[in-house]
Chain A
């Protein structure tokens, strides 16, 4: 349906309603007021850029948006995405299980490389840092369910807005060097990763530990890093101190926090976190329908079989102020893809009807956020809808269609920002 510009302008008082009807991918006007957002959104799509949750403070963190408090899940507020690197203190947090480390003793801490290896290793922190050559990689960590609150119909799970992502410069040791030191034996099919965080559930059902595995032949392992620095500083506890796995291009669920065990497996990992959870339909974009998902015949694969699809975001202006007609505005944002570098970002001032190429910011590597900007001069008073879309090296362009699957994964629709331009006379 199409509403005229005039009628939309008249609806500003109930913009949420008009947006829900028109475009569930839009970021709601975010004008800060002194009244609180609603406590939840739905059954329609969440119209806000972030989730509606309250600001809270955690150790080593700036006020972030509380999704859940036990286990801890915190979303990064939108303004932190103005810079290509996300500050550690603002970096999002996502745990599955509640027994999160509060204190770790580096005197007794060890990283184990075990299983089907010739020389099992128990590496002390000091040895990890001194024995192996340090490397650095800029890479985006994004939760598989980032933007899940956009799904229609809504699906259960952490109701993230767009802030379950972050980019950091990760410094550590190449995983391949550790594997070479341990000498992986023939017959190894997967590598399994497990961290120190645990849950109170009974053993072996998924609520005691989280384990994720990647095929030994996965090229992502060549670029994987066991990181002990994040943006040049030790990792905050809530981001995986003392070391976490970095798998550039893959979703965050494979980036095991508090990494303590690397296991060479001779059989495919059948634990809950591989066989049941974090699976996506084996279809283009992981797209399906509620009917097909309920039908039981849908073939699924672990989300590690795909790389993060290309995405881009408008960070500013965020609708917090009315704009002036005729005065240029610097529209800024970020883009990334798990499939290699973003090669193009396009900007639309008319809700996605016409596109112009935006200017890309500095190149920090193929898996980093890439900033973009475009100077836009609001032509006249009224309501305007900006849109952005990115293209990556593989030629993938962000589609302007929603995606749906029961897990709430892989959202990458074109993003929009409605804005109000006032009169100057």
Chain B
């Protein structure tokens, strides 16, 4: 994007003669008092969201909305990620992990145990140990990176 832009400016400069060069590219002309910088763009790295189309509702007694969209970022890459995603994902999305602040190892351990003992999550002991090890390896104050 930027490259093309500079090529374009370069062509303009050539066409207009090299005498124009001193007023191009971030150096506004002296007749604009106070102007410090102008014409800077970048690639829009926050991305964009498409505008939703309206729903077509019928006049019946059923009140419906579409499916709930998922907006899930991937979990940190590493050993135990798949087992974590599949067992924890029975009841909730991995955003329940990524939204947390970095939590101490003991907290992650008790969270996993709560899911099993309190809520009855069907997670075998070996898998639970892998999940706890994975969370400790990526989501504590010492280990969390993303």
Are the chains A and B members of one assembly?
Answer: yes
Per DSSP, chain A at the interface is loop
Q: Give the distance to chain A from B39, nearest Cβ to Cβ, in Å.
A: 15
Per-residue CB proximity of A45-82 to B under 8 Å, as 1/0? 01000010111111110010011111110000000000
| Cα distance A97–B96 in the bound complex, in angstroms | 12
- Closest Cβ neighbor of B108 among chain A residues: A156
Interface flag for A213 (CB, 8 Å): no
Asked if A66 and B95 sit within 8 Å, CB to CB, the answer is: yes
Among listed A99-107, A338-346, A366-374, interface-contacting one: A99-107
Segment at the B interface, from A34-42, A314-322, A397-405: A34-42
- Evaluate contact between B65 and A68: CB separation under 8 angstroms: no
A380 to chain B, nearest CB (A): 21
Q: Give every chain B residue within 8 A of A97 (Cβ-Cβ).
A: 91
B77 lies within 8 A of chain A by Cβ: no
In the complex the two chains form, is A40's CB within 8 Å of B101's CB?
yes
Partner of A59, one of B65, B119, B121: B65
- Per-residue CB proximity of B56-100 to A under 8 Å, as 1/0? 000001111111111111000000000000000011110110111
Q: Is the CB of B68 within 8 A of A41?
A: no
Taken together as a complex, chains A and B put the C-alpha atoms of A102 and B91 apart, in Å, by 17
**CB <8 Å contact, B72 and A69:** yes
A415 to B61 Cα, complex, angstroms? 46
- Contact pick for A41, options B49, B101, B119, CB 8 Å: B101
Among B62, B70, B99: residue with most chain A CB under 10 A? B99
Closest CB in chain B relative to A8 CB, distance in Å? 25
**Which of B7-15, B20-28, B40-48, B124-132 sits within the interface?**
B40-48
Q: Are B92 and A70 in contact (CB under 8 A)?
A: yes
CB-defined contacts of B38 to chain A, threshold 8 Å: none
Bound together, the chains give a CA A98 to CA B68 distance in angstroms of 10
CA distance A205 to B91 in the complex (A): 13
Contact A69 B118 (CB under 8 A): no
Judge if A13 is at the interface, Cβ distance under 8 Å. Answer: no
Complex CA–CA separation, A63 to B69 (angstroms): 12
Q: Give chain B interface residues in 95-129, CB to chain A under 8 Å.
A: 95-96, 98-103, 107, 111, 118-121
* Chain-B contact segment, one of A113-121, A180-188, A196-204: A196-204
User: Which 3 pairs from chain A and chain B are nearest by CB?
Assistant: A42-B101, A103-B64, A59-B65
**A60-B65, A102-B68, A104-B62 given. 5 additional CB < 8 A pairs?**
A35-B45, A69-B93, A106-B62, A156-B107, A276-B118
